[in-house]
Structure formats: structure tokens, C-alpha cells
């Protein structure tokens, strides 16, 4: 708690700018990627540069994640769950993504108090942004050179069901960084949702505290579902004071959608192997 | 996309004679021939226009050899690849002249998929006095022929005709970005995103693949070839540049497939300048050997670099073209300008290098005096025969009277293609659909 305010201000200054640029780069790259996929013959140079930029965003995010995770925190069982529609992804196995997204082996979920103790709000919005972005990156990079798949159906139904039936409302849920919200929301809006059956199955799995590690993801990431979910509580904990615009309720709804997207993404990828 | 191409075709056929700024008129390549007598431009509509320099006349010494249209021809037509259901653009990506060996001129022009060798020849005499046909070409009635005569060559109005002599096709899966004629004058290479093929100028049904960087799994692709060129004197040496900012020099004597480079030129990244766009702006858009063959020049998004062939670790010189854009990379990424591929050229003595920028600006750097100048190619801002006024971009703070601020730059007016006469200080600058030719001022 030493000089909390001071530290927070410093990190906010740096982190806010970095995070907002991270987010805009991701947004723009995703948009370009999707637009190029719609073309019959996208320029190869362009595609390679855009996907390399996305990879770089991913590695920056990973670096941030690793630095955040360097502080060990007691774990807290995750009770919430969120599912998100899968992004369109092409053929599997991009073997160049060898490094794990998260090299965390410890508990990474933080209690609210601990969170406030060791890091600023900015860091939390960062980690929440990170989770979103990582999921975006997974799908994008995976789809980078593969054949494009048609996007899935609409997400409206999913939102309603998920929110009301699937997970217990958490009082500590707050909005994310607002700059994360709009981008992922737009992604969610344009992508489809899995069927409810799959949803429920996934949610049940997520609710358990012990997961079978799905090591070999199709892309070669060694991120596991439980790794990611351990991150999800950080979303709920982030008051995200630095975020500017969204109201809480709006943020909460979209944040739930995003969570759904996150977890769905991972699990859709792990499931083909199981 | 479909409508665009349709309207382009319509414009080609109906409106070509008018001075419309149609998309088909956008100049896509500019190249002087080896003597500087001819200047060729290719455009997006697949046409090649060749200009010839007037002979200097004593009557009008101030008109020091202006360039006039010499020949115009349609080099490439839009094609349709039925197997892939893709339209192949007719845009001329590159033109390269062959050295002149007889009265005719030869050039190679290429679109995304096909390279063509064109012969441009003059005809200023025609035979007259045939026996079997009269001057109009109609067959004479044999019964009216009473005497035999020998046809005589009579002068006629100069006619310049362009004929395709070779078509080098079906060798590239990806889009051709460069062609380069070898100093042996027998072979040339064509380069696409992943492969480089070597051709013999006489043989069109066979080419040899000399570089192939296609990975077994396309999802592992992280780097593409962006440009390639033969060494000006050593016919076994060539270089190719990549989207990651590296240049590889290869020796064809080493092996048939030159996947292993002989030299690898790459500058280590400056950590203080690192950003999300570092890789994109390091992608090399053009590579050119100096006339001497000792140096290499590369153009990436913000800089021009001169490399010594003997030093692979870092460039000899780095020139900032428009560093004021470094803080705007995110917006330039958004509006796609960051993907613009600028070319760069040497002057005849390798002492000055030139490249284009935005707002119809182009920059010249004197390697010896280390001075640089920014000039503008625009009709509004310069009268014909007036000396170009140096321009300046104001980076911040107070803007002086003649300066232009970074935010007022017009990013749709980009100078991607320029050319420098091989011996004299004459430059050709392509500004969208206009061609500007500038000369040193006459004293």
C-alpha cells in the first residue's frame, strides 16, 4: 500500500497510452484481416504484415502478462463463467506459435484486496484487455493463411441465456477498460454463437476448479482453458478507473459477452482434440 | 470491385482520348532506357507510353531536349484465371529496358503474372512500285502489267510500331513485383512474393526457379520477397529484399537453387524506436544497385538506406525521408498508407539519391554534401520552366509562411515512382496520373 496513489498514476500514464494503442492496433488489424479475407485474392505481402503485427501485439501482451504474473497471489475459485462465440478460424495448427500464452503455473487469480494492494487499476484493465486480445489473436493468426470460414450466427440469444442462466452474478463485476469493450463488442456482434448445448457443456466444465490441461492446442499454444479462466476473475476485479466512457451496466453486459467469447474460443479449440 | 473494373474498362474504351483522371491512367512505373534517350511509363490500364528526347537544336537552345510521346501501346489486357476464378489485373508493375543492340528498342513489361518482351521499331521508308499490287494494296490485274519494275524505298512519315516478341507466362503463382535484366543480356529474372525465376530472353516455355521461400505450411509464412535486382556488372550476383527489412545477396554459381544467401544485410532494430509498426515500416519496398555496383540502396517506409556490399551488419548511410510520420503510424496503418511502396533511384554518378513522399513531394539526398531537398511535383505550385522551390514540412510549433504542416499533407497524392536519367540531371516523377520531367537549370 505504499505510495499507492503515486504508483498508480505513473502506471496509468504509461499503461493507458500503451493499452489504447494496443487496442487500436488490434482493432484495425482485425478489421483489415476480415476485409482481406473477404477478398478473392488478398495481397500476400499485406496479409503477412498484418498477421505479423497481430503476432507482435500478442507477444507484447504476453510480456505484460508475464510481468503481471510475476507477483504471486493466492488463488480463488472461479465461479463465474462466460462464453463467447468463436471467431472464424481457418485450418488449424499454426505451428509457429510455440511459446505458451501464459507461462503461469501458479495461482493467478487475485482476491480483490490483494489486487488493490499490489497493482494499480490500470494493470487490471490491462490484464483484462490482454485476455480479450489474446483470444482475438488466437483466432486471427490461426486463420491467417487458412481458408476463410463463414462467420457463425448472431450472438444476441447467447447473451441473454448466458447472463440469466449460466453463471451467478458477481457483485464485484465491473466494467472493463472501456477501450477494450467497444472493440470486442463489435467482434462479438459480427460473429456467431455456438449452440446452447455446447455452451452448457462448456460452462459446466469451467465451473469445476480442476481442469484437465489441454496442452496441445491446435495452434500450438500451450494455453489451457484453466489458465485462461484463472485470468477471467481479473476481469471481474478490475474497477478500471482509467476507462473513460462506458457505463457500468453497459460494460457489464458487454463484458459478459466478452467472457463468453473468451472461454468459448479456448474450448472450441481444445474440444476437437478431446 | 466488379463495378470498379467494369467502369475502368468503359473508361478505357470510350474515354481514353479525353483528359480524364481515370484510374486506368494512374502511372505505375517509370523507367529511362540505358542511354536516356527514351523514357517509358506503364499505367494501371496496361498501357505503355514511351517518350523520346528531342534532338537538341541550335535554333532553340533553351528547349534542351524535351521528351515527346514516341509510342503508345497496350501491353497487357485484363485476364481471367478460370481455374481460380480470379481476375488478373493489367496494371504494369515494372518496365525494364534491354540494352540497345540494333536500331530497334526492346523492353520488358510485366503485370502480376506475365512478362512480355516488346520491340519498338521505327519505319520511315516504305517500298513503292510493286508489280502485282498497286499503291493502295489492291491486286493489279495481271493482264495490265506490261513491264517489270523494281520496288524502291521511298521516305514516309515516321511510324513507330510496337510488337510483342515474347510472352513469358505461367511461371508465377503469386504476384510479380520485380523484373531485372542480367548484365549478360541473355537472361532476366522475374520475382513474385515467394519465388524468383530465371528466364532466357529467347525461351518462353521454360524458366528456372532460383529462389523459393515458400514454407511447406503456408501458415508458417512470415516473410515475403518484396524486390530483387541483378548486379549491374556481375551476371552471377543478385539481391532480393524481404518484408522483414533484410536483403540477401545470392551467387548463382553456388548452387542451382539460391535459397542460401551469400550475404545477409540487416540492420539491428533500434530498441528506442520500437513500436507495433516496426516490422511494417521496416519492410523494404525497393532495392537498387548503384551504377558502380559497389553499393545497394533500399527504401523502407520512413527511410532510404545505402549499404556497402562489403558490410552486412548495418547500412553505410541512412536518410530520413519523412520522419515526421513516425508519430502518425497508427493512422497511416488505418488508412493503409503504411503499405505504400515507394521506389528509390540513384543518379548517374551515384552521388545523389531520390525518392518520393506524400503531398506530391519528392526528396533528394546528396551523399557527398549530406544536403537534402524536398521538391513538389504539382502544376498548381510551379509554372512550367520555373525553378522548383524547395518545400519544407513544419513538424511542430510555429509554422512559417511557406511551410506546410504535417496534418495538411495530402496522403492521396503520393509519389511512388521516379526515374533518373543515366547520365544527365533529368528526372521523371510520376504523380498519380501525371508525369513530370524536370531538368537541371540551364545556366
B217, B243, B278 member nearest A48 (Cβ): B243
B224, B279, B330 member nearest A56 (Cβ): B279
Using one digit for the tens of pLDDT, what is the confidence trace for B88-142?
Answer: 999 999 999 999 999 999 999 999 999 999 999 999 898 888 888 887 878 888 8
- Number of Cβ within 10 Å of residue A25's Cβ equals 23
Using one digit for the tens of pLDDT, what is the confidence trace for B176-216?
Answer: 999 999 999 999 999 999 999 999 999 999 999 999 999 99
Closest chain B residue to the Cα of A41, Cα to Cα: B86
CB-CB neighbors (< 8 A) of B222 in chain A? 48, 51-52, 55, 96
Of A191, A216, A230, A242, nearest in space to A88 by CA: A191
pLDDT of residue A41: 79
Chain B residue set in contact with A, beta carbons under 8 Å: 1, 84-86, 174-175, 193-194, 217-224, 226, 243, 276-280, 283, 330, 333-334, 336, 339
Of A25-34, A241-250, B310-319, the range with the lowest mean pLDDT is A241-250
Q: How far is A34 from chain B (nearest CA, A)?
A: 14
pLDDT at B252 over 50: yes
B217, B283, B330 member nearest A49 (Cβ): B283
- The fraction of chain B above a pLDDT of 90, given in percent, is 71
CB-CB neighbors (< 8 A) of B84 in chain A? 41
Q: How far is A189 from chain B (nearest CA, A)?
A: 21
- Cβ distance A94 to B220 less than 8 Å, yes or no, reads yes
Of the two residues A234 and A142, the one the predictor is more confident about is A142
If 0-12 CB within 10 Å is exposed, 13-18 middle and 19+ buried, where does residue B236 land? middle
- Cβ distance A45 to B330 less than 8 Å, yes or no, reads no
| 3-class secondary-structure state, position B402 | coil
Q: How far is A247 from chain B (nearest CA, A)?
A: 27
A41 touches chain B (CB under 8 A): yes
- Cβ distance A40 to B279 less than 8 Å, yes or no, reads no
A44 touches chain B (CB under 8 A): yes
- Cβ distance B226 to A45 less than 8 Å, yes or no, reads yes
- Cβ distance A46 to B339 less than 8 Å, yes or no, reads yes
pLDDT of residue A98: 39
CB-CB neighbors (< 8 A) of A42 in chain B? none
pLDDT of residue B201: 97
pLDDT of residue A137: 56
pLDDT at A151 over 60: no
pLDDT of residue B399: 76
Closest chain B residue to the Cα of A19, Cα to Cα: B276
Closest chain A residue to the Cα of B173, Cα to Cα: A44
pLDDT at A97 over 50: no
Question: Which of A41, A89, A95 should we substitute to test contact with B (largest number of B Cβ atoms within 10 Å)?
Answer: A41
Neighbouring residues of B263: CB distance < 8 A, sequence distance ≥ 6: B248, B249, B309, B312
- The fraction of chain B above a pLDDT of 70, given in percent, is 93
Output the average pLDDT for chain B.
Answer: 90
CB-CB neighbors (< 8 A) of B245 in chain A? none
Closest chain A residue to the Cα of B337, Cα to Cα: A46
Q: How far is A166 from chain B (nearest CA, A)?
A: 36
CA B220 to chain CA centroid, nearest Å: 31
Cell numbers at B380, concatenated: 498548381
pLDDT at B267 over 60: yes
Of B83, B98, B80, nearest in space to B34 by CA: B98
CB pairs under 8 A between A and B: 75
Grid cell 482485425 in the structure block, residue: A30
Cell numbers at B168, concatenated: 513469358
Average pLDDT in the B230-239 region?
Answer: 96
- Cβ distance A41 to B86 less than 8 Å, yes or no, reads yes
- Number of Cβ within 10 Å of residue B267's Cβ equals 19
The residues with which B318 forms a beta bridge, in sequence order, are B305
Grid cell 493499452 in the structure block, residue: A19
pLDDT at A60 over 90: no
B27-32 and B344-346 as β-strands: parallel, antiparallel, unpaired? unpaired
pLDDT at A32 over 60: yes
The residues with which B166 forms a beta bridge, in sequence order, are B117
- ipTM for the predicted complex: 0.87
CB-CB neighbors (< 8 A) of B193 in chain A? 44-45
pLDDT of residue B86: 84
pLDDT at B310 over 80: yes
CB-CB neighbors (< 8 A) of B283 in chain A? 45, 49
Q: How far is A52 from chain B (nearest CA, A)?
A: 7
Q: How confident is the model at residue A158 (pLDDT cuts 50, 70, 90)?
A: very low
Dihedral over alpha carbons B17, B21, B26, B27 (to 10 degrees): 60
A48, A53, A93 member nearest B221 (Cβ): A48
- Cβ distance B219 to A56 less than 8 Å, yes or no, reads no
- Cβ distance A95 to B219 less than 8 Å, yes or no, reads yes
Average pLDDT in the A197-203 region?
Answer: 48
pLDDT at A238 over 50: no
Closest chain A residue to the Cα of B278, Cα to Cα: A53
pLDDT of residue A209: 40
- Cβ distance B219 to A22 less than 8 Å, yes or no, reads no
- Cβ distance A94 to B277 less than 8 Å, yes or no, reads no
Using one digit for the tens of pLDDT, what is the confidence trace for B19-68?
Answer: 445 788 999 999 999 999 999 999 999 999 999 998 876 676 666 688 99
Average pLDDT in the B351-366 region?
Answer: 96
pLDDT at A213 over 70: no
pLDDT of residue B284: 97
If 0-12 CB within 10 Å is exposed, 13-18 middle and 19+ buried, where does residue B397 land? exposed
- Cβ distance A52 to B224 less than 8 Å, yes or no, reads no
| 3-class secondary-structure state, position A157 | helix
Using one digit for the tens of pLDDT, what is the confidence trace for B138-178?
Answer: 888 888 888 899 999 999 998 999 999 999 999 999 999 99
CB-CB neighbors (< 8 A) of A90 in chain B? 219
A40, A44, A55 member nearest B193 (Cβ): A44
How far is residue A266's CA from residue A271's CA, in Å, rounded to a whole number?
9
Q: What angle do CA B348, B354, B356 make, to 5 degrees?
A: 145
Q: How confident is the model at residue B386 (pLDDT cuts 50, 70, 90)?
A: confident
- Cβ distance A44 to B194 less than 8 Å, yes or no, reads yes
pLDDT of residue A253: 55
Cell numbers at A243, concatenated: 476507462
pLDDT of residue B98: 97
Q: Are B25 and B12 in contact (CB under 8 A)?
A: no
- Cβ distance A48 to B222 less than 8 Å, yes or no, reads yes
How far is residue A252's CA from residue A239's CA, in Å, rounded to a whole number?
11
B218, B224, B276 member nearest A57 (Cβ): B276
How far is residue B385's CA from residue B378's CA, in Å, rounded to a whole number?
13
Window 95-154 of A: residues touching B by CB (8 A cutoff) are: 95-96, 142, 144-146
How far is residue B78's CA from residue B92's CA, in Å, rounded to a whole number?
11
- Cβ distance A22 to B276 less than 8 Å, yes or no, reads yes
- The fraction of chain A above a pLDDT of 70, given in percent, is 21
Of B187, B265, B264, B179, nearest in space to B229 by CA: B179
- Cβ distance B283 to A41 less than 8 Å, yes or no, reads no
If 0-12 CB within 10 Å is exposed, 13-18 middle and 19+ buried, where does residue B265 land? buried
Amino acid at each position: 500500500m505504499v505510495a499507492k496513489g503515486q504508483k498508480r498514476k505513473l502506471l496509468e500514464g504509461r499503461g493507458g497510452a500503451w493499452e489504447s494503442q494496443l487496442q487500436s492496433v488490434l482493432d484495425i488489424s482485425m478489421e483489415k484481416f476480415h476485409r482481406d479475407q473477404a477478398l478473392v485474392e488478398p495481397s500476400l505481402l499485406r496479409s503477412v504484415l498484418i498477421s505479423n503485427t497481430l503476432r507482435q501485439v500478442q507477444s507484447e501482451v504476453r510480456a505484460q502478462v508475464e510481468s503481471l504474473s510475476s507477483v504471486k497471489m493466492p488463488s480463488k475459485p472461479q465461479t463465474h463463467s462466460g462464453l463467447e462465440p468463436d471467431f472464424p478460424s481457418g485450418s488449424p495448427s499454426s505451428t509457429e506459435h510455440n511459446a505458451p500464452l501464459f507461462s503461469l503455473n501458479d495461482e493467478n487469480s487475485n482476491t480483490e484486496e490483494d489486487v488493490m494492494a499490489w497493482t494499480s487499476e490500470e494493470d487490471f484493465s490491462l490484464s483484462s484487455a490482454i485476455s480479450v486480445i489474446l483470444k482475438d489473436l488466437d483466432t486471427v493468426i490461426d486463420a491467417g493463411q487458412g481458408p476463410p470460414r463463414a462467420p457463425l450466427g448472431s450472438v444476441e440469444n447467447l447473451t441473454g441465456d448466458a447472463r440469466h442462466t449460466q453463471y451467478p452474478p458477481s457483485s464485484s463485476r465491473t466494467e472493463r477498460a472501456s477501450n477494450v469493450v467497444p472493440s470486442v463488442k463489435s467482434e462479438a456482434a459480427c460473429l456467431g454463437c455456438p449452440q446452447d448445448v455446447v455452451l452448457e457443456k462448456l460452462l459446466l466444465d469451467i465451473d469445476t476448479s480442476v481442469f484437465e490441461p489441454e496442452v496441445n492446442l491446435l495452434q500450438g499454444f500451450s494455453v489451457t482453458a484453466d489458465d485462461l479462466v484463472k485470468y477471467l476473475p481479473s476481469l471481474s476485479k478490475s474497477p478500471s478507473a482509467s476507462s473513460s466512457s462506458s457505463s457500468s451496466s453497459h460494460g457489464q453486459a458487454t463484458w459478459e459477452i466478452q467472457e463468453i467469447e473468451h472461454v468459448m474460443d479456448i474450448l472450441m479449440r481444445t474440444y476437437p482434440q478431446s | 470491385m466488379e463495378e470498379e473494373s467494369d467502369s475502368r474498362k468503359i473508361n478505357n474504351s470510350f474515354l481514353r482520348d479525353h483528359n480524364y483522371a481515370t484510374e486506368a491512367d494512374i502511372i505505375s512505373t517509370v523507367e529511362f532506357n540505358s542511354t536516356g534517350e527514351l523514357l517509358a511509363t506503364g499505367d494501371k490500364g496496361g498501357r505503355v507510353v514511351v517518350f523520346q528526347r528531342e534532338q537538341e537544336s541550335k535554333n532553340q537552345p533553351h528547349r534542351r531536349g524535351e521528351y515527346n510521346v514516341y509510342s503508345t501501346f497496350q501491353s497487357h489486357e485484363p485476364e481471367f484465371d478460370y481455374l481460380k476464378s480470379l481476375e488478373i489485373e493489367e496494371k504494369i508493375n515494372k518496365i525494364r529496358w534491354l540494352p540497345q543492340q540494333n536500331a530497334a528498342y526492346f523492353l520488358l513489361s510485366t503485370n502480376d503474372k506475365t512478362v512480355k518482351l516488346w520491340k519498338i521499331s521505327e519505319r520511315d521508308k516504305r517500298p513503292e512500285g510493286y508489280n502485282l499490287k498497286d499503291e493502295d494494296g489492291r491486286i493489279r490485274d495481271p493482264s495490265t502489267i506490261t513491264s517489270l519494275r523494281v520496288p524502291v524505298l521511298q521516305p514516309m512519315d515516321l511510324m513507330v510500331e510496337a510488337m510483342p516478341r515474347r510472352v513469358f507466362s505461367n511461371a508465377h503463382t503469386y504476384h510479380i513485383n520485380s523484373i531485372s535484366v542480367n548484365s549478360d543480356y541473355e537472361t532476366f529474372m522475374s520475382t513474385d512474393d515467394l519465388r524468383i525465376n530465371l528466364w532466357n530472353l529467347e525461351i518462353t516455355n521454360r524458366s528456372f526457379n532460383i529462389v523459393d521461400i515458400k514454407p511447406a505450411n503456408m501458415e508458417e509464412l512470415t516473410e515475403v520477397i518484396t524486390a530483387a535486382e541483378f548486379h549491374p556488372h556481375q551476371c552471377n550476383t543478385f539481391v532480393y529484399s524481404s518484408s522483414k527489412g533484410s536483403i540477401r545477396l545470392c551467387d548463382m554459381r553456388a548452387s542451382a537453387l539460391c535459397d542460401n544467401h551469400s550475404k545477409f544485410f540487416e540492420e539491428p532494430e533500434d530498441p528506442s524506436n520500437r513500436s507495433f509498426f516496426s516490422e511494417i515500416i521496416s519492410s523494404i519496398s525497393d532495392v537498387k544497385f548503384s551504377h558502380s555496383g559497389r553499393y545497394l540502396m533500399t527504401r523502407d517506409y520512413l527511410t532510404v538506406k545505402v549499404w556497402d556490399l562489403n558490410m552486412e551488419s548495418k547500412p553505410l548511410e541512412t536518410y530520413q525521408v519523412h520522419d515526421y510520420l513516425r508519430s502518425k503510424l497508427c493512422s497511416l496503418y488505418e488508412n493503409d498508407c503504411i503499405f505504400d511502396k515507394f521506389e528509390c533511384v540513384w543518379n548517374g554518378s551515384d552521388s545523389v539519391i531520390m525518392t518520393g513522399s506524400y503531398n506530391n513531394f519528392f526528396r533528394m539526398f546528396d551523399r557527398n554534401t549530406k544536403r537534402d531537398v524536398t521538391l513538389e511535383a504539382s502544376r498548381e505550385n510551379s509554372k512550367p520552366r520555373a525553378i522548383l522551390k524547395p518545400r519544407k514540412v513544419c513538424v511542430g510549433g510555429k509554422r512559417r509562411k511557406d511551410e506546410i504542416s504535417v496534418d495538411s499533407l495530402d496522403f492521396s497524392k503520393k509519389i511512388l515512382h521516379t526515374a533518373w536519367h543515366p547520365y544527365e540531371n533529368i528526372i521523371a516523377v510520376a504523380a498519380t496520373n501525371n508525369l513530370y520531367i524536370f531538368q537541371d537549370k540551364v545556366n
